[in-house]
Structure formats: C-alpha cells, structure tokens
Chain A
C-alpha cells in the first residue's frame, strides 16, 4: 500500500513554482504586448518619423539658430546642449505612452485585454517597454546627428554611454506617469494636449538649454529641484567630465522614485477603468 504524503516543503515548493510560473507568464505576456506595440508603431511610420524628426530638428535648431546667441563659459555650446536635448527627447517620447494608451482605450482593444486571462500588468508593461525601445532608437539617431553637428562628448565613450543610460532610465520612469494620464482620457488628442505642457514646464525650467543661473530666482528654485534638471546635471558631469557621483545618484533616485510612484498609480488607474 502506498500513500503519497505531501510534505510541507513540497507544498511550499509548488507554491514557489506557481509564483515563478506566474512571473514567467507575466513576462511573456508583457513581451507579447510590447511586440504588438512595436509592430503597430512600425506600421504607423508617421508617428515614428515624428518621434525621431522632432528631436533632430531641436538639435539642429538649438545648435545653429540659438547656439550663436547662447554662451556657456568653459565649454562648447553643442557639448553643453546635447545632454539637454537627450532629456528633452525622452520627455517628449513619454507623451507617446499617454497617446498610445488612450488610443487603445478608444479603439476598445483595452477592453478585450481586460477580459483575457493575461497578466494585467502586461498591458502597461508592454506599452512602456515598447516606448523604451523607441527611446533607444531616438537617442541613437540623435547621438549621430549630434556628432555630425559638432558634438564631441569630451569625456569619452564611457561617460556618454553612462549618461544615455540615465536618460533612458528617466524616460522609462516618466512613461509610467504618462501611462496613468493616457488611461484617464480616452482620446489621444486630449492625452497629448494634457501631456505636452507638463513636458514643456519640466524641460524649459531646467538647465537643459541654458544655464540655470540665467533664470530669475523664483524660477531657479523650481527649475533646479525637479527631475529633468537633475538628469541634465548628471549627464553633463558624465559627458563633460567632473565630479559625477553626487548628480548621478540624485538622478537615479528621481528616476527610481518616480518609477515606483508612477507604476503604482498607473496600475491603480488600470484596475479602475470603467469603475
């Protein structure tokens, strides 16, 4: 006679297995949704071209149209500018997260996703991961254009890559913030209209294009205590050289903190759609 006794350890092990298979399925769902989002972006080339052309125009505009009028002591303006332009590009890129999700809300594909036995986080994860991939492309294109326009990244390739890492991490964190926004308005145009001013405010009060010291005191107080400014300072320290550890940590803390808060917020918003 053989009876199968299930030891507590086995039960615990099977729970762990179930949980890890849950994580595996959630990752695979996220990859599936991300793939779908990338495919649809490739198939609406206008959006992709717009996402790349705009930062390129900004590089050229600031480099050649405004660059002559802006003097930054101790450095070439184009080397000063590029960290700002990178930050601006991913900040505008995050608007795409809001636009994409509100579009999915409007077409009804989100309704279908919500009734499938898929991991719920995959809709948001897949969207932000696809937008991360797009940001990588945009940043790569801009780096190329920057070099063509005279950017030399004085502190070398290591510093530049580390700076771009910070840029992409920041872009990923705020795309979760815009995900929440996109889920609240089922109209892509409205999502865009709501998101763009936020980006403008953060980018143009930071030291992205001009040194913060050129701004009046009250504006400086805001401009120097926000994540885009922290990012731009950390990038400049890495790209231009100089003590970077402090600025890098501040920027990472901003991105990590924003990611945590925004991801929770977006997950709550997603769970409450239609309530």
Chain B
C-alpha cells in the first residue's frame, strides 16, 4: 500500500458531557476509498469535521496529505473537498452560480472557476438545471451539486459525510458511480455512511465506529464473512413458542437472539441455511407464523459487536 493520505491518531472530542470521539485512529491509503461506518451519534460527522479543519480535536492529531489539520489548517483546506449532510450549497443561487462562487472561493481563479463549473455540471448531469435556483432542486440533484461543489479545485482528498442519506435508490446509485469514477482517477475518498451496503459497494477498507471508537476494521468481504450475509427472522406469535424455538436452535448449534415473540438468526452460508433451521425446529417448537430473510443491517453488525453473538 502506498503512503496514507489521511491519518488520525487518538482523536478525542467532547461536546459538554458527551464524548463524541474517544480515541479514534484510522488511516486512509492514498488513492483508496475508506468507508467510515456507524450509527447516528457514533462520531462520524465529528471525525469529518476535524479532518476538514472546521472542528479542533481536544486531543490526538490528524494529518491530511501529510499536513496537520490544526497547525496547517489553511494548507489542508487546499487539499480537501467536503460534501455531505452538514455542508451545503446555497438554495437561493442557481446550480451554476453556486459552483462558480465556490470555485472562486476555492481560489482556482475566476476563469478556471467558470470552466470547472461547466465541466462538473456536465459530469454530474446537472446541465439542464444549471440555470435554476437550487431551492427547486430535488434531494438527489442537490446532493450531486453538493459533491460537485467539493471538487472544483480538484482536491486530492474528498470527504463525504453521509452523501446518500435520505436519497432514493436511483440517486444513490448515480452518486455511487460518481464516487467510483473519482476513486478511479486517483482521488482519496473518506466516506461516512450508515449503510453497510454502501460501504460494501464503494469502500476498499471499512472502519466501523461505535461511541467514538473503532469497533472493527477490515475489507467489506472480511466484515461480511465475520457478521454473516443473511439475517432470518422467524415470528412465532407467542413468547413461549419463541422460547421453545430459541432452545431448539441453540441446541442445534445456531446463535439465535430472541426478540419478543420472534427469533433472529444470522447465517454466513446464505439462504440455504433456512432449511437447516426449520429442520432443527421440527417437532421441538410450533411452526413459525412468518419467516423473513434480509441482508444484515448495521444494527445486526452492532448487535454482533456488542454481544459477541456471531453467525453460527
């Protein structure tokens, strides 16, 4: 791996009583995509705020492109581009005006700001809407413009804070394509997300954070293998039935988790696991009222991380 474009060591940050970051460390190799995965309040935005120089850590240090984010904040700002939930574009300017303004303020020069604005409107599919006020844009268009605004000065490091939260699937996939293109052209990307699926689709390396600390780290493939690819939810309608099923599954070697009148089981081997489970239940518990199969969510990962209940 090449040299790290982003490095953080022991970052700590408290807001009053709340310890948002509690010794977070991470490294993003140059030219790669790192997915910072965590639920709300886990410290993702705080991390991005510190790396983008808009927040100072209480302790620890971080560098972007080898530059210290506190001591060399002004130089760091020339290297980074930031987009996401809390960085915005101006709703009362047109898309084109927004990009030109941010281009000039990114110090690329008046002429270059115009040129880059047109290039980016083009590559983000915003040409037709370029002359319209952003307040009339859809959520997806606004996010695309937001990401475009982060790219005017061709930053070496792009920080994306939950770029697709609240977007419809089509807009999300379009944004994913843009991120992939950027990564292919050599931009280092750090992206925060609540969606395992998103990290899976984009990231070379995933860092899972919880309560301001790194809970786990690995490639998407490694994490999936660790946390299971499928979650089965069997509903029994009655608590006693669920308890009987829990006992039966546990004695068959599964790691069931009871949740009221239902049971959750995580399995690495895909949906083929279901027949095995039903066989284990046969005669030992009533038939389930309903069976649901779904991809694991971050909640499942966190349950696993906190309870140690990994897939059988």
Judge if B89 is at the interface, Cβ distance under 8 Å: yes
Judge if A75 is at the interface, Cβ distance under 8 Å: no
Within 8 A of A (CB), among B116-144: 133
Q: Given the known A-B contacts A32-B101, A39-B97, A40-B93, are A117 and B88 also in contact in the complex, defined by CB atoms under 8 Å?
A: no
Question: Do the beta carbons of B56 and A111 come within 8 Å of each other?
Answer: no
Judge if A7 is at the interface, Cβ distance under 8 Å: no
Judge if B80 is at the interface, Cβ distance under 8 Å: yes
Residues on the B chain within 8 Å of A116, using CB: 77, 102, 105-106
A40 CA / B133 CA spacing, docked (Å): 10
Question: Do the beta carbons of B88 and A115 come within 8 Å of each other?
Answer: no
- Which of A29, A112, A122, A275 has the most chain B CB within a 10 Å cutoff? A112
A127 CA / B107 CA spacing, docked (Å): 19
A32 CA / B90 CA spacing, docked (Å): 13
Contact for B88 among A29, A44, A109, CB less than 8 A: A109
Range, interface on chain A:
20 to 34
A179 to nearest B CB, angstroms? 18
A36-B93, A116-B77 known, 15 other contacts, Cβ within 8 Å: A32-B104, A35-B101, A39-B97, A43-B92, A107-B90, A107-B91, A109-B90, A112-B82, A112-B102, A113-B105, A114-B53, A115-B82, A115-B87, A117-B74, A117-B153
Judge if B9 is at the interface, Cβ distance under 8 Å: no
Judge if B8 is at the interface, Cβ distance under 8 Å: no
Residues of B within 8 A of A (CB): 49, 52-56, 74, 77-78, 80, 82, 85-93, 97, 101-102, 104-107, 133, 149, 153
Q: How many A-B residue pairs have CB under 8 A?
A: 75
Question: Do the beta carbons of B90 and A36 come within 8 Å of each other?
Answer: yes
Question: Do the beta carbons of A117 and B78 come within 8 Å of each other?
Answer: yes
The residue of chain A having its C-beta at the shortest distance from the C-beta of B78 within the complex is A117
A165 CA / B145 CA spacing, docked (Å): 42
Residues on the A chain within 8 Å of B105, using CB: 29, 32-33, 113, 116-118, 122
The 7 closest A-B pairs by CB, nearest first: A108-B88, A40-B92, A118-B105, A117-B77, A112-B87, A115-B52, A114-B54
